Amino acid sequence: MRTMTDRIDVGPGACARCDAAAERNLCAACADDLDAPLAMVPEQLLSACVRPLDAALVDRWGRAHRLAATTLIGRVPQATGVAILTGVVSRRHAELRRDRAGAWWVRDLGSANGTFVDERRVDGEAPLAHGARLTFGSVGVYFVFDRGRLRDRVEAGAAVTVRPDAQRPAVAAPIDDFDAEEPTFAGMPSVALTFVEAPSGGGGYLAAGGNQVRLTDTQFAMVLTMAQRMAAEATVAPVVRGFVPSGQLIADLPWDAHDPDEGHLKQLVRRTRKALEAAHLGDLIESRRGFGYRLRVMPAPGSTGL
- Reported as a pLDDT band with limits 50, 70 and 90, residue 132 is very high
Q: Sign of the CA dihedral 61, 62, 66, 72?
A: positive
Task: List, in sequence order, every residue forming a beta bridge with 139; answer none if it has no partner.
Answer: 136
64 alpha-carbon distance from chain centroid:
16
Residue 96 pLDDT: 98
Q: At what angle do helices 217-232 and 262-278 cross, to 10 degrees?
A: 90
Residue 12 pLDDT: 55
The mean per-residue pLDDT over the stretch 272-298 comes to 86
262 alpha-carbon distance from chain centroid:
17
189: phi then psi, degrees, rounded to nearest 5: -65, 150
Residue 182 has pLDDT above 60, yes or no: no
Give the DSSP letter string of 240-261.
TTT-B-HHHHHHHS--SSSS--
The mean per-residue pLDDT over the stretch 64-82 comes to 92
| 234 Cβ contact list (under 8 Å, min separation 6) | 241, 298
Residue 10 has pLDDT above 80, yes or no: no
C-alpha distances (whole Å) from 61 to each of 75, 99, 273 are 19, 29, 16
Domain ranges of the chain: 28-145, 190-299
Residue 66's CB: how many other CB atoms inside 10 A? 20
Residue 187 pLDDT: 59
The predicted-structure confidence for 76-102, as pLDDT tens digits, reads as follows: 888 889 999 988 899 999 999 999 999
Range from 125-134, 172-181, 267-276, 280-289 that averages highest in pLDDT: 125-134
Percentage of residues in the chain having pLDDT higher than 90: 45
CATH topology of domain 28-145: Tumour Suppressor Smad4 (2.60.200)
- Pair 233, 242: CB distance under 8 Å: yes
- Reported as a pLDDT band with limits 50, 70 and 90, residue 165 is very low
The mean per-residue pLDDT over the stretch 219-237 comes to 92
Range from 33-37, 129-133, 158-162, 301-305 that averages highest in pLDDT: 129-133
| 178 Cβ contact list (under 8 Å, min separation 6) | 75, 76, 85, 91
Residue 240 pLDDT: 84
Q: Sign of the CA dihedral 205, 259, 226, 233?
A: positive
- The angle subtended at Cα 181 by Cα 89 and Cα 242, nearest 5°, is 65
Residue 2 has pLDDT above 50, yes or no: no
Residue 3 pLDDT: 40
- Reported as a pLDDT band with limits 50, 70 and 90, residue 39 is low
Residue 283 pLDDT: 78
Residue 166 has pLDDT above 70, yes or no: no
- The angle subtended at Cα 289 by Cα 285 and Cα 291, nearest 5°, is 75
CATH topology of domain 190-299: Arc Repressor Mutant, subunit A (1.10.10)
Residue 140 pLDDT: 93
Residue 270 has pLDDT above 80, yes or no: yes
Residue 35 pLDDT: 78
Residue 247 has pLDDT above 50, yes or no: yes
Residue 206 pLDDT: 93
The mean of the pLDDT values for the chain is 82
Residue 199 has pLDDT above 50, yes or no: yes
Residue 38 pLDDT: 59
